[in-house]
Structure formats: C-alpha cells, structure tokens
Amino acid sequence: MENVWLITALWVGLALAAALLSVRFAVSVALTEIVVGAIAGNLIHLQISEWVNWLAGFGAILLTFLAGVEIDIGIVKRNFWSTMSVGLMGFFAPYLGILLFARFVYGWPWDQAQIAGIALSTTSVAVVYAVMVETGFNRTEIGKIILAACFINDLGTVMALGLVFANYNLWLLFFAVLTIIVLFLLPRLVPWFFETIGTRVSEPEIKLIFLVLLGVGGLASVAKSEAVLPAYLIGMVLAPTFARYQVIAHRMRAIAFATMTPFYFLKAGSLVQARTIITAAGLIGVYFGLKMLTKFGGILPLTKAFRFDAREGMYTTLLMCTGLTFGTISALFGLTNHIIDETQYTVLVTAVILSAVIPTLIAERWFQPDYRPLDSEQQQQQPAN
C-alpha cells in the first residue's frame, strides 16, 4: 500500500531541490523542475498516482489562466493587423508544416501528427517577455507588438488543443454556449465580486476563480476538449480586472507555484525517457529544426512586410521560435489521452526544451537590435524614493 505522506515528501523534496537550483543558477524554475523530474523519473522511477495527476492537471489549468491574464488587449487592438498576422502565422506555419511532415514523411497517424504539430507550434511568451524586460524592448512599440503576437500564437495552440480532439456532439455545443456566456459575464461579475467582498483571509476571490476554472474545465473534459482552452480564454477576459487587483494575481501565483505547478513540471519531466533522447537524437533534431524552419518561413517575410528592419525581423522571428510551457502541455495531453506513446512524448518534449534555449541564445548573441533603452527601463525599475 502506498504511503501517501512519504511519496508526497519525495515530490516536494524534488520541487524544493529544483527551486534551490533555479535560484542558485538563475535559470527558470519550470525548466529546472522538468530536468529534475527527468533525472528522478529515470533514476528512481517516480510514482505518478491519481492525486499527482490531479495536482499536475490543476497546475496546468492555473498556468494557462495566469498566462491569459497577462495579455494586453489594447495592444492587439492598436496593432491589429501586424499582431494578428504575425501571431497566426507563428502558429499555422509550424502547426501545418510539422503536422504534414510527421504524417507523410515519418508516417505518424493523423492524431499523433496533430499532437506533434500543436506541441511545436507554440511560442514562449515568458522567454520573449524576459528578453524584452532585460533589453527594455517591452517598452517599445515593436516589443509590444511581438509580445501581443506571441499571445495570439499561443491562443492558436490552445484553440487547436481544445478543438482538434473534441467530440463534435451536443456536449461540445453545450460547453461552447456556456463558455461564451461565462466569458461575457465574468468581466462584469468578477470586479463587482472583488469590490464587494474585499480582502479576506478565506480568499473568496480566489475560490470564485477556481470554481469557474474547474467548472468550465470539467465541462470541457466531458466534451473531450481540453480544460486549458477555457482557462486561457477566461484569463484573457479577466486581464483588465487582474491588472487592477495585482495582489490577487500574486496570491494565485504563490498558490500555483508552491503547490501545483511543481507537480506538473516534475511529472512532465519524469515521463521523458533518457534512452530515447539518445536513440532518437536525430528525430529530435529534425523536429526542432522543422520548428525553426517553419517559423522562419512564416514570420520572417511578414516582418519585412510590416517594415521591421532586417535585424529586428531576425530578432522577432528567433524569439517567436521559442516554446516551453504550452509545448509540454500539448505533449502531455497527447500522452495522457493515449494519443502518443512515451517515445514520441520524449521526442516532442525534448524538441520543445531545445526550442526554449537555442533560439534565445542566438537572438541575444547575434541579432539583438542596436537600440539600448536602458534609460527608460531604469525609470520603470527604480524604486520610489
């Protein structure tokens, strides 16, 4: 019989080790948790019980919700054509390119090829945002357009994940109608609720958000859709509200990062097979290369059409080649629903991790535009006197 406390202690110990390593080496805690999970999974065969699956699943929902909350709809509206075209091309070019390659060159069945296309279609908004903050480009118009395009790219990914594998029946119709009603009501209901109830130790604001995410996410599952789809959309419509109530977003992050997302990233890593990384290194390289190639084919010409200069165009395209969280969410969705096997999962997740690191290094090393906005950034960062 399993000793739930000892097993929990092992998972939490791994999460703590990953957190300490990430602090020591100033590397993403998400990436560190995946690597620690992969090492533990291969060395000690981590036990993945139902409650680990539940925590990991809720962690993925919260990650997606919190990602949606950060979108700035105003930027998308102000730069509609450039944002939408770069964002949609950033999704469709790799999605279709890799889908067709996996199906017709490697002979993967359609569903498995779909997972490959979706997992490698993503852009890491987080990597792009961190690079922007460090260089100060997040305060420039081009930086804002790139960031907004990344959100649109990821919206394409979660839409595909939520719709490609859904059962097109009455449940899906019910889920779609209910989601539309919820998306319409929430921007009115939530600010009123936050204002009326105030800040309490029992955190009713957070419970309300959890209730909505779990309720609509549950309906998505019944319709064989994916709970991260409504979570991202709900995050997007609540973005203006959370911009006003940042302390609630901070508390939600604390809950998510302390208790749920470590289980998600550790689990995602633990399912990676070390042996497959070696035996399928060629295929991993091909998928990673294809992601880069298709992103370049789709986005670089658009940057020219929208009159980015050559260096800015390369920089934008390279940053949009990145990906991590939504890539692993998509691959894990495929594995959990028995669409892909562990070998395919390992191939896709490793290609996703490569895409988080290599394009960023190339962009920062060789293609960072000349503009150095340190002065403006400094004003933003400088503590109040």
By CB under 8 A, name the binding residues for another protein: 22, 26-31, 34, 63, 66-67, 70, 124-127, 129-130, 133-135, 250, 253, 256-257, 261, 265, 324-325, 356-357, 360, 372, 374, 377-378, 381-385
CA 385 to chain centre: 37
CA 39 to chain centre: 22
Nearer of residues 182 and 356 to another protein, judged by Cβ: 356
Minimum CB–partner distance for residue 270 and another protein (Å): 16
Nearer of residues 172 and 236 to another protein, judged by Cβ: 236
Phi, psi angles (nearest 5°) of residue 368: -65, 125
* Alpha-carbon radius of gyration of the chain: 20
Nearer of residues 312 and 377 to another protein, judged by Cβ: 377
Residue 59 corresponds to which tokens in the numbers above? Answer: 């962690």
122 exposure class (CB count in 10 Å sphere: 0-12, 13-18, 19+): buried
Distance in angstroms (rounded) separating the CA atoms of residues 361 and 363: 6
Minimum CB–partner distance for residue 28 and another protein (Å): 4
Nearer of residues 71 and 182 to another protein, judged by Cβ: 71
Minimum CB–partner distance for residue 301 and another protein (Å): 27
- Count Cβ atoms below 10 Å from residue 367 Cβ, excluding itself: 18
Asked if residue 324 lies in contact with residue 63, where contact means CB atoms within 8 angstroms, the answer is no
Minimum CB–partner distance for residue 249 and another protein (Å): 8
Minimum CB–partner distance for residue 170 and another protein (Å): 35
227 exposure class (CB count in 10 Å sphere: 0-12, 13-18, 19+): buried
Nearer of residues 197 and 243 to another protein, judged by Cβ: 243
Residue-wise burial string across 57-96, b where 16 or more C-beta atoms lie within 10 A, e elsewhere: bbbbbbbbbbbbbbbeeebbeebeebbebbbbbbbbbbbe
Minimum CB–partner distance for residue 257 and another protein (Å): 7
Minimum CB–partner distance for residue 370 and another protein (Å): 12
Minimum CB–partner distance for residue 251 and another protein (Å): 12
Residue 111 corresponds to which tokens in the numbers above? Answer: 């569903």
Of 271, 201, 213, the closest CA to residue 62 belongs to: 213
CA dist list (Å): 77 to 43, 92, 122, 170, 186: 50, 21, 22, 34, 21
CA 328 to chain centre: 8
Nearer of residues 83 and 261 to another protein, judged by Cβ: 261
Minimum CB–partner distance for residue 152 and another protein (Å): 15
Nearer of residues 125 and 223 to another protein, judged by Cβ: 125
Of 235, 73, 241, 238, the closest CA to residue 144 belongs to: 73
Nearer of residues 182 and 354 to another protein, judged by Cβ: 354
Nearer of residues 22 and 179 to another protein, judged by Cβ: 22
